[in-house]
Structure 1
Amino acid sequence: FFRSLAIAYGNQAVGVILSGLDGDGAQGIREIKGNGGITFAQCEASAQYSSMPHTAVATGKVDFILPPAKIAAKLVDISHHPYLDLPNSDPREPNLPSEDPQEDNESALSIIFSLLRT
């Protein structure tokens, strides 16, 4: 998936590696960075399973290492950058953090998936 994304979108590709038990995303992260895209990995402290984010970070090709809520906020920031031409982008801002960290992660993931779909 990431390889196809990198080829199709080049420097406009964005890769996000979240909690998981494998290292499949590492090669995809390399592909995206090799084509000038932007890469994210969930910080290990917030990941239920840190293997995938850890392997991605170990490539040295990850631009941002953040918890999900901050990944979502950074994606929104990037989408508003004046150099980007995103005519169909979603203008809504991410929700403010709640008192429940699990709720924040679920909300952040929803925002990430929505931004990726856009």
Structure 2
Amino acid sequence: MEIAGQQPKFCIGIGCSAGGLEPACAFFQQVVEKTGAAFVVIPHLGREHKSKFSTILEKCTNMPVHRVEDNIKLETDHVYVLSEDRMMIVEDGYLKVRKRYSREIINKSIDIFFKSMAKAYRENSIGVILSGMGTDGIEGIRVIEDSHGLVIVQDPDTTDFNILPQAAISKDDPHAILPPAGIARFLLKYLKLSNSQN
């Protein structure tokens, strides 16, 4: 098992938009043991208003939660939340952040991050799609699949906004479709098994 401060073996990207905060909290409330993974949350946010996503998420987990506005090194068992008006990739063990271009009318922050995660972590990349509208993340989970990573989608019946999860299911073949707490339990077992085999 990795120890805190070391490069995470796994990267778990969690994409969501409308209605994503509640399932994200439900997910993190179940993650109560060391995982060997870094958790990166990519919520769709308005450009202008400062997001409270990371502040609220801090109340749902014992792991350190970082509001990501600038480049930051990934650490095991830390949570990183993308801030508003930013785009982010993972490369060389760092989250690298830039401002969202004015021409980026359609928010593709989940796709951009998932594609970089698949490239950086290959079979150790894990993409999670929670409640949301639109189709951002669909291209990204295909790249994760192509890299032999893991894709898990929130059960649409447990979402407030099911368009994004439904699209993820219809366009891809996720490894599991579960409610948020079930996703966490599935991942804990998966990570425990993967870590024990190395």
TM-score, length-normalised on structure 2? 0.41
Cα 1:84–1:16 shift into 2, 3 Å: farther
Which of the numbers 52, 63, 71 marks the counterpart of 2:175? 63
The structure with the largest alpha-carbon Rg is 2
**Alpha-carbon offset, residue 59 of structure 1:** 1.6
Cα 1:4–1:84 shift into 2, 3 Å: farther
Q: Distance in 1 between the 2:153 and 2:184 partners?
A: 12
* Equivalent position amino acid for 2:161 in 1: Y
**Alpha-carbon offset, residue 61 of structure 1:** 2.8
**Alpha-carbon offset, residue 84 of structure 1:** 5.9
**Alpha-carbon offset, residue 74 of structure 1:** 0.5
**Residue equivalent to 1:29:** 141
Q: Does 1:2 pair with 2:111?
A: no
**Alpha-carbon offset, residue 60 of structure 1:** 2.7
- Segments of structure 1 that go 5 or more residues without pairing to the other structure are 87-118
Residue pairs, 1:56-95, within 5 angstroms? 56-82=168-194
**Residue equivalent to 1:12:** 124
Cα 1:11–1:20 shift into 2, 3 Å: same
**Alpha-carbon offset, residue 49 of structure 1:** 0.3
Q: Distance in 2 between the 1:18 and 1:60 partners?
A: 15
Q: What CA RMSD, in Å, does the superposition of the two structures yield over aligned residues?
A: 1.6
| Count of matched residue positions in the alignment of Structure 1 and Structure 2 | 86
Q: Distance in 1 between the 2:196 and 2:170 partners?
A: 29
**Same amino acid, percent of matched pairs:** 35
**Residue equivalent to 2:158:** 46
Q: Deviations over 1:47-81 (max 9, x none)?
A: 11001101111123311100001000001001101
* Equivalent position amino acid for 1:33 in 2: E
Larger proportion of helix: 1
Q: Distance in 2 between the 1:84 and 1:40 partners?
A: 21
Q: Distance in 2 between the 1:32 and 1:12 partners?
A: 9
- Segments of structure 2 that go 5 or more residues without pairing to the other structure are 1-112
Q: Distance in 2 between the 1:28 and 1:84 partners?
A: 28
* Equivalent position amino acid for 1:71 in 2: I
Poorly superposed stretches of 4+, deviation over 6 Å: none
**Alpha-carbon offset, residue 82 of structure 1:** 4.3
Larger proportion of strand: 2
8 Å CA contact 1:44–1:50 kept in 2: the answer is yes
TM-score, length-normalised on structure 1? 0.68
